[in-house]
Amino acid sequence: MRTQLSAAVGAVALTAGALLGAPAAGAQATDYPTNSFRVEVGNTWTDGKLTWYNRSVLVEGTHKSVSSAGKAYCRLTWGRTYDASRALVGTRGSDPGDMACGTTRSFSFVVPADIVGGAQLVRICLDDGNYNDLLCAPYRRP
């Protein structure tokens, strides 16, 4: 009888411990790391947030152009992803409809990084309206 009682008490303690250690039903999955970026050329810029997923990087932000005198004065934002060895993995940029010409515009795009572990580095570039890189800056995965 004493053995059965000990076994019953032990089973209740194990069950309670398992329930207390379990995550809540509504718990969030692991958050993805984020960091901010800013690239400036004169009085034009691109800035925003990078969200690092397992096989891509989400780039969200705004870019600014101060003149609409022609495509050379417009601004676009591009991103290129790299692996840990700094080998290029993918390229992607803001949609041409997001081009800023004499204004400030929002953009959001995903840069693919279809490798195990995802991208370890992304280069964010501020381009003119002719897709010429004006300045690029590297950002490491946090």
CATH number at residue 74: 2.60.40
In terms of residue numbers, what domain contains 81? 34-140
- 87 within a domain of the structure (yes/no): yes
- 25 within a domain of the structure (yes/no): no
User: What's the pTM value of the predicted model, to 2 decimals?
Assistant: 0.77
Residue partners of 52: CB distance under 8 A and separation at least 6: 32, 33, 34, 35, 118, 119, 141, 142
Predicted confidence at residue 97, as pLDDT, reads 86
Overall domain count for the chain? 1
- 27 within a domain of the structure (yes/no): no
- 62 within a domain of the structure (yes/no): yes
In three-state secondary structure terms, 69 is coil
- 134 within a domain of the structure (yes/no): yes
- 20 within a domain of the structure (yes/no): no
- 125 within a domain of the structure (yes/no): yes
Instruction: Tell me the pLDDT of the chain (142 aa) as tens digits.
Output: 444 544 444 444 434 443 334 334 443 556 999 999 999 999 999 999 999 999 999 999 999 999 999 999 999 999 999 999 999 998 888 888 899 999 999 999 999 999 998 999 999 999 999 999 999 999 999 9
Predicted confidence at residue 18, as pLDDT, reads 38
Predicted confidence at residue 29, as pLDDT, reads 52
- 89 within a domain of the structure (yes/no): yes
